[in-house]
Amino acid sequence: MAETGARGRTALLGKIMDLHGTMMIVLLCIATIGFGMLYSVSGGDFGALAGRQMLVFVVGFGCMVGAALVHLKWWWKLSYVVYGVGLAMLIAVEVIGDIGGGAQRWLDLGIIRLQPSEIMKIGLVMALARYYHGLTLDEVKTYRTLIVPAILVGMPALLVLRQPDLGTMMLLAAAAAVMLFVAGVPRKVFAIGAVLACVGAVAGFYQLHEYQRDRVFTFLNPESDPLGTGYHIQQSKIALGSGGVTGKGFMQGTQSHLDFLPEKQTDFIFTALAEEFGFIGGVTLLMLYAVLIAYGFMIALSARSHFARLLAIGVTSTFFLYVFINIAMVMGLIPVVGVPLPLVSFGGSAMMTLLIGMGLLMNVYVHRGVVLSRQGTVR
């Protein structure tokens, strides 16, 4: 028994030592930038935003390490369970969800307040990875095998769109599309899907909420209503430009501190960063994101298990889409859709989801040599 326990401790220590140290350091750097910016936009009040975000990060970091150390086969077994829990919580939002800012997106569990759509971002990736892991390449190329993925993506997408949360719905669909492409789905399916998406977008435009339609019109012509629907993006561009090369200095951003910049702690926190630290500060953060994304795709390529490869691709693609959509949004390149900046924007649910996702990515790195059968057993 003593020898068995010693071997178990040795194996656990070996896994801990095998964690991706560089990724963990980069994650810590990004989160630290987030703490600093939340401290700044709250006017130097540590407890208002930064302190709460730090607490969530510490808990999430522990969950990340735990997720990385669990054997890969258990994540295969739990994939549909995680998806099912996320779907059940999305349905619960429809019935008993909290309403805030005109949207019904949260579940109040007393101790914590969750946004189930964030959980679904991980659950959908895991479910699709498990489904395609169990198929041969010939089976993937048949149209009948698209029925299950269509259901897996369609159910949460429709529920999220009803909340309404157009940004998250787009993120779910885009991440799923990347996974289907990597899994080997025929390219003609994506061409047909793109055409149907365009037709659906046109047909469904007038089914959107009025504020969502206003965002599209504002994107097409931001100057049409600078004091109304175009106010947010106009102020964002002013803040981005006023930072110059080196910025105005920490806690010296006039747009954010004089409350001209909307949602400065969430959607537009990159704008606040660029105003205070300029072009150099913005590029530095983007380079840190690029390092994480590059490591994510490298880990996916090194995985021997198809499930692990798809899981890593899905997590990395989701992370990339978070960054891309948020940055493009605050620069006026796409309509404002309300996607947070990873590990920097204030928000407990998003922070936990991203860290657990990073834990799954590190799990693939730790177990990169593991090969799973189609039934999920180790070969």
The letter for the amino acid at 165 is D
Looking at per-residue pLDDT, the higher value among 76 and 19 belongs to 76
pLDDT of residue 263: 76
CB-based contact 77:290 (threshold 8 Å): no
pLDDT digits (tens, 9 = 90+) for 64-74: 999 999 999 99
DSSP conformational letter for 341: P
pLDDT of residue 361: 95
Exposed/middle/buried for residue 239 (C-beta within 10 Å: 0-12, 13-18, 19+): buried
Residues 6+ away with beta carbon under 8 Å from 309: 182, 300, 301, 303, 364
Q: Quote the pTM value.
A: 0.88
pLDDT above 60: residue 39:
yes
Q: What is the distance, to the nearest Å, from the Cα of residue 348 to the centroid of all Cα atoms in its chain?
A: 12
Confidence of residue 233 (pLDDT cuts 50, 70, 90): confident
pLDDT above 60: residue 6:
no
Radius of gyration of the chain (CA): 21
CA–CA distances in Å: residue 366 to residues 24, 74, 226, 288:
13, 14, 51, 22
Confidence of residue 105 (pLDDT cuts 50, 70, 90): confident
CB-based contact 351:365 (threshold 8 Å): no
How many helices (H) and strands (E) would you count in the chain?
Answer: 15, 3
CB-based contact 274:239 (threshold 8 Å): yes
State residue 249 phi and psi, 5-degree precision: 110, 155
CB-based contact 164:116 (threshold 8 Å): no
Highest mean pLDDT among 80-84, 110-114, 143-147, 190-194: 80-84
pLDDT above 80: residue 214:
no
What are the extents of the domains in the chain? 22-366
**Integer Cα distance of 342 and 327 in angstroms:** 11
CA angle 188, 192, 197 (to 5 degrees): 145
* Dihedral sign of CA atoms 180, 181, 186, 188 in order: positive
Report, as an integer, the average pLDDT of 185-202. 81
Q: What is the distance, to the nearest Å, from the Cα of residue 334 to the centroid of all Cα atoms in its chain?
A: 17
pLDDT above 70: residue 225:
no
Report, as an integer, the average pLDDT of 242-260. 82
Q: Per DSSP, what are the bridge partners of residue 107? A: 114
Strands 113-114 and 98-100: unpaired
